[in-house]
Amino acid sequence: MKTLLIKSVVSLSLILSLYALNIQTVMAHGEKALEPFIRMRTIQWYDVQWSKQKFTVNEEISVSGKFHVAEDWPVSVPKPDAAFLNISTPGPVLIRTERFLNGKPYVNSVALQPGGDYSFKVVLKGRLPGRYHIHPFFNLKDAGQVMGPGVWLEVSGNADDFRNEVKTINGEVINMETYGLSNGIFWHVFWGALAAAWLLWWVRRPLFIARYRMLQAGLEDELVTQQDKHIGKAILIGVPIFVLASNWMTISEYPKAIPLQAALDQILPLSAQVNAGMVDVDTLKAEYRIPERAMTFLVKINNRSDKPIQVGELAVANVRFLNKELAMPSQDNTDRMIAPDGLTLADATPIQPGEERTMTIIAKDALWESERLDGLIRDSDSRIGGLLFFYDGLVGERFISSITAAVIPKFN
């Protein structure tokens, strides 16, 4: 018995130790929760930048970047007719003060156009000290959250120093942290007390078996007394009158109140850029070799620009596969998963202006598995999507093309 007890204690200690060692791995916001085809073929993030990663309470920072709305939008995912850009945080550690899409401030959901590119910027303010993993994300109606690349932010200072004051339309300055708090507490307590009193009024008397026996005896008319009926009528009449009177008092006290907005913003994609459409990519075939954890693309590239270009990067979901032979500056400062030498080209020579070339591109790295992107071959929609980046080695100009193809799994 003693030996069994010792073994149990040792086993429990080992389990708790393993749990403690793996705490860091669960500090995320569901980046891998959605199916791979949704993460790859809906919102394709790039050039995401944070203005700073260490700041104090009350200090403002911003996250900005761009995203491409995939042309090959999955059939099983509702179209992005209503999408909301937000920041995923572990609680109210930051507040959002401003938000821009294509340079325009907006507060509502927005209708996105497949095939379009958008720039975004969100201004945040430190609220609670600590170290937090933060993501920008789009909440797609009826589909869920598509996370952008995350970053660790460190907020220092004292939480008691936080100030969130705004000026109302009548010139009054209010503290958003405490404004209306007592009123909210009152209404919660009032309706909770009323509901509890109504419930207790009925459960104070015998229930279930006693009432069942009365029903069996044909005494159902005695289950509800005359006093019960009077109280029910009082509540039925009194509650609506009380609500309407309270609403009238609120309107009288705040005649200039602006209601919550429920409109849908219509913001067009970025205007055609100089580089847009200058490099056409047609994905002829895509194969995923499971033992090697490698995706092989056969693509036909048409360079319609006036510069020689080379393939420099493939971005899939939040994973970047880089061509180590091509020196490129990093386009973001997030902790996006990067395979620094994950991209291999069958023909690495520059594609000349006006040249059309069919070539093989291999994106190989364990990130396919660790980021659960290899689950694509088990999805009902086994199509891949991503962004292919081309660079002009002479002046550093960049060209971006969206690629998509059905994936053929290879098991050997």
272 located within any domain? no
| pLDDT value for 25 | 37
**Tally of residues, the chain:** 412
Same domain, 82 and 194: no
Check residue 42 and give its pLDDT. 94
Coil, helix or strand at residue 81: coil
Looking at the fold, whether 150 and 184 belong to one and the same domain comes out as no
Q: Give yes or no: residues 28 and 128 share one domain.
A: yes
Beta-strand relationship, 117-126 and 109-110: unpaired
CA distance to 55, 148, 316, 329, per residue, from 334 (Å):
16, 10, 15, 14
Beta strands in 34-129 (DSSP E): 43-50, 54-56, 60-69, 83-88, 94-101, 104-105, 109-110, 117-126
Q: What is the largest CA-CA distance in the chain?
A: 96
Domain end, chosen from 110, 142, 164, is at 164
User: What's the pLDDT at 143?
Assistant: 83
Domain boundary (253, 270, 303) is at: 253
Q: The tokens of 158 are what?
A: 């004292």
Pairwise CA distance, residues 2 & 289, whole Å = 52
Residue 136, in any domain of the structure: yes
pLDDT at 7: 47
Q: Which mean pLDDT values do the consecutive 10-residue runs of the chain (412 residues) have?
A: 47 47 44 84 93 95 95 92 93 94 91 94 96 93 89 94 88 90 94 94 79 80 84 93 94 85 87 67 94 95 91 92 77 76 91 94 93 86 92 80 93 84
Amino acid 23: pLDDT: 37
Is 16 inside any structural domain?
no
Question: Quick one: 224 and 284 in the same domain?
Answer: no
Q: What range defines the domain where residue 42 resides?
A: 24-164
400 within a domain of the structure (yes/no): yes
- State residue 277's pLDDT score: 67
Q: 164, 196, 229: which is the final residue of a domain?
A: 164
**How far is 57 from 93, CA to CA, in rounded Å?**
10
Instruction: Examine the domain organization and report whether 184 and 242 are in the same domain.
Output: yes
**Same domain? 205 vs 148:** no
Query: Is residue 3 in a domain?
Result: no
In this structure, are 160 and 179 located in the same domain? no
Q: Are 211 and 225 in contact (CB under 8 A)?
A: no
pLDDT value, residue 395: 62
- Whether 349 and 324 map to the same domain: the answer is yes
Residue 329's pLDDT is 56
Domain count along the chain? 3
**CATH at residue 133:** 2.60.120.570
- Rounded-to-integer distance, Cα 318 and Cα 389, Å: 14
94 belongs to a structural domain: yes
Question: Quick one: pLDDT at residue 297?
Answer: 96
d(CA 269, CA 101): 9
**Residue 80 located in a structural domain:** yes
Quote the pTM value. Answer: 0.80
Distance CA 187, CA 180 (A): 11
